[in-house]
Amino acid sequence: MASSNYRTILGIVQFDVKDGEAAGKPVRNIRVNGVDRLPYSATLWPSHKDFPVSKNDVVVLEGKYTTSDGEKDGEKVTYHNLSVIRAKNLGPADAGVKPETDDNGVEPDADEIPF
C-alpha cells in the first residue's frame, strides 16, 4: 500500500549523488539519513539541477513524500521517498578525525585472557 503527502526532512546525505532518469527527465538521487531515524530516497528534479549537494552534507528538503512496500532479503520493508520541491544545503557535517590506535609497544602474552 502506498501513501503520499508533503514532508520536510533534515538529515545527512549518506552516499554519493547518483544520476538517473524519472518521467523522462534527468534527475539526481540522494539517500538521506533523517533526524527521525528514517532513510529517505530523495529525487532532485531539473528545477534543482544547480543545487550543490554531496555525500556528508547536512540538508533540509521539502517535497512530496510517499512510501511503498517492498521486500529485501526475504523481509518486508517500507521505502521512504521524497520528490524534492525546496532544498537547502547547510554544508558538510564534521566527521571528526579517527585517532590512530597505539599499542604502546606492548606484545600480548599468549597466556593472558582478554576481557
- Tens digits of per-residue pLDDT, 26-66? 999 999 999 999 999 999 999 999 999 999 999 999 999 99
More confident residue, 107 or 26: 26
DSSP state of 35: T
d(CA 47, CA 83): 12
The pLDDT of residue 35 is: 97
Dihedral sign, CA of 16, 25, 8, 66?
negative
CA 72/CA 58 separation, integer angstroms: 27
Pick left, alpha or beta for residue 61 (phi over 0 → left; psi -120 to 50 → alpha; otherwise beta). beta
**Better-scored residue on pLDDT, 113 or 33:** 33
**What are the structural domains, with CATH classification, of the chain?**
3-81 (2.40.50.140)
For residue 73 the three cell numbers come to: 532479503
